[in-house]
Amino acid sequence: MSWILLTNDDGVDSPALPAFRAALRSLGDVRTVVPSGQRSWIGKALTRFEPIEVAEVDQDGATVVTVSGTPADAVQVAAGYFGSPPDLVVSGINIGYNHGAGYIISSGTVGAAFEGWELGIRSVAFSAGVRGRWHTWYPIMRSAASAPDWERLAAVCADILGDLLEADLPADVVTVNLPWEADLATPRRVVPPARVTYGQMHHRLSDGTYTHNYQEDFGDVPLDGTDIGVNHAGEIAITPLMAPASPPVAEEARARLERPAGAAT
C-alpha cells in the first residue's frame, strides 16, 4: 500500500484526528486532508462555484492539509495533491453515530468515503456515538478530557480496518459504528443499516427563522439485526454499503411504465 488518506467531517480541530492518525500508522503511510472547520450533515456535497482554499498546518508534528470546502472536496483535493492518489480512504472517527439509512445518506463522514468510491479507491468510514440527545454528549466527546477515549477507539478502529483489508466484503463502501465504550474485546457484527429516518428536524422560531433540533426516535421500525440495534446492544456494527442501485421490477409494473420507441402516445 502506497499511502492512506485520512479525512473527516468534524474538521482539523476534531479531538479524534491526532489519535486516529497515530493508530493508522501501523497500517501504512498516513496523509491527512480535512475540512478547515466543522462540515457535518453535508453528505457528499462538492464545492462547485467557489475556489477551494488549501493550507498546510502542523498538528503534533504532522503536516495536515486543510480545505475550505466539504469532506468530499477533501478527498478530491487529496487525490491530486500528493502526485498520486491514495490506495485507501479512511474517514472519521466521526463524533456521533452515523447509523440508520437517513443518517448514513446525510453524513459528511460517509459522504467522503463515497467520494473515494467515485474515484475508484477503497473506502471505509468510522463513527463513534452515545445514545441520547446530541447536545448532552457532543460537548463531552469534543472536550480535551476525551483524548484517552479517542486513543482507545482509534486503536479499535485500526484493528477493525486491518481485518477489513483482509476480508472480501461485497461493498462499495464500509461504514463502522462503535459505541463510545468500545474496546478491542467488544463484539462486532456485520449487519445492514436500519431503514429509519430522522423526521422533522428544522423547527420555526418566533422570528420566522428555523433552527436545527431533533430527538432520536425510531418509532416502530424493527432494529434487531441492524446497525442501530447492534449499537444499542453495546456492540460494534460493520455495515457494507452499495452505491445507489435498483430493486427488481415486476413485469406488470415494467409493462405499465415502459414505452417502446415508435409506440403511439
50-80 residue pLDDT tens: 999 999 999 989 999 999 999 999 999 999 9
pLDDT at position 210 over 90: no
Question: Which residue has 422570528 as its cell numbers?
Answer: 207
Q: What average pLDDT is seen over the chain?
A: 94
Phi and psi dihedrals of 146, rounded to 5?
-85, -5
How confident is the model over 26-53, as pLDDT tens digits?
999 999 999 999 999 999 999 999 999 9
pLDDT at position 265 over 70: no
CATH of 4-257, one of 3.20.20.20, 3.40.1210.10, 3.40.109.10, 2.60.40.10: 3.40.1210.10
Q: What is the model's pTM?
A: 0.95
The total of other beta-carbon atoms located within 10 Å of residue 12's CB is 20
The total of other beta-carbon atoms located within 10 Å of residue 140's CB is 13
* SS3 at position 204: strand
How confident is the model over 3-13, as pLDDT tens digits?
999 999 999 99
| Vertex 60: Cα angle to 46 and 77 (nearest 5) | 20
Would you list the domain boundaries of the chain?
4-257
